[in-house]
Amino acid sequence: MPDRPKPLSPLFLQPARTRRHADFVLAQAPSVFGSYVEPFLESGAVALAFMERFAESTFRLSSDDPEVVNAWQVLQADADRLVACTLALRDRHDRAKRAALAGLRGDELVGMEPVDRAARLLYLRGSAGRDPAAVAFDETNVRRVSALLAERDVRFDTRAFYAIVAEVAEEDLVFLDPPFGPGAPASLEREVRSLVGTVTARGAYLLAPSAVPAAAAATPTPAAAAAAGASVSRSAPGLARTAARAPAAAPLPAVYAAWNTMSLAADRGDGDEVWANRTLERARRR
């Protein structure tokens, strides 16, 4: 019996929890749904897992970060040039060159060719690890992701997350992973809660990983702060949001715990949880 293909990895370097969570979320999904909609697209770990499983679905992926969306669009349209440009950056990697690329802003980015912008993002994400001399870039995986995109009905858009309400329909599946936590806008929880209510009223399904309210996450216990503290960095457009939060004396409640539109769908017992809206919970009980 031939070996099963290795599951695809996310496009960008991401924390291990993000990659591990994809299969956990996938296990809670309905067996049949309309379009898959993800309005906070980043590394695409969960979206790729769904693409591999649900070949006949349509995928509508979006972000308010034009650099993230551009990278996915270029990968979809011209993987060969993206790989070549990223490898060229990797081969010339040093701290000074990385700092110069990370410092580009606004018009400087807009004036670049889309493929150069996309290669910049993959290079910056790949060189954001602990080893300043290393650049993580898996050419084979990138080409496999591109091939999967070519086989699926996938659209990428740059837009605010709440813009999905214009197209979400009954029995669509929305995957929601907002950037709650320190540094998040004060209005984010309110706006996401409104979106969840609208999606639920439309009869669409919704899944979301556990998330801690910004106010709670921004105030670690003294013991937690002493152990590791909390830090958030997003030093350039399109760079990964990184967060290190020490374990508190007691688990913080998920932001969704107080919402009557959401309920806990699965708890792995290691801090990973998946929440579902009422529409999906009713479908799961049938």
Per-residue model confidence as pLDDT tens digits over 87-108: 999 999 999 999 999 999 989 9
pLDDT of 245 over the 60 cut: no
pLDDT of 231 over the 50 cut: no
Q: Is 242 inside a domain boundary?
A: yes
Mode of pairing for the β-strands spanning 273-277 and 205-209: antiparallel
Same domain, 20 and 79: no
Q: Is 45 inside a domain boundary?
A: yes
Q: Is 192 inside a domain boundary?
A: yes
- Expressed as residue numbers, the domain containing 236 is 15-64+159-286
Distance CA 218, CA 227 (A): 15
Which secondary structure element, helix H or strand E, spans residue 207, and what is its range? Answer: strand 205-209
Same domain, 168 and 213: yes
Which parts of 132-204 are beta strand (E)?
153-158, 173-175
Q: Is 4 inside a domain boundary?
A: no
Same domain, 96 and 229: no
Residue 272 sits in a domain whose CATH number is 3.40.50.150
Of 152, 178, 207, the residue that ends a domain is 152
Same domain, 171 and 42: yes
pLDDT of 232 over the 50 cut: no
Residue 134 sits in a domain whose CATH number is 1.10.1020.10
The number of domains in the chain is 2
Of 98, 118, 152, the residue that ends a domain is 152
Same domain, 111 and 201: no
C-beta pairs of 181-187 under 8 Å, 24+ apart in sequence:
181/211, 181/212, 181/214, 181/217, 181/218, 181/232, 181/243, 181/245, 182/214, 182/217, 182/218, 182/230, 182/232, 182/243, 183/232, 183/234, 184/214, 186/214
Same domain, 171 and 276: yes
Same domain, 54 and 73: no
Same domain, 195 and 220: yes
Same domain, 96 and 234: no
Same domain, 230 and 274: yes
pTM of the model: 0.84
Same domain, 110 and 125: yes
pLDDT digits (tens, 9 = 90+) for 53-94: 999 999 999 999 999 999 999 999 999 999 999 999 999 999
pLDDT digits (tens, 9 = 90+) for 135-156: 999 999 999 999 999 999 999 9
Same domain, 127 and 183: no
Q: How confident is the model at residue 284 (pLDDT cuts 50, 70, 90)?
A: confident
Of 127, 152, 177, the residue that ends a domain is 152
Percent of the chain with pLDDT over 70: 81
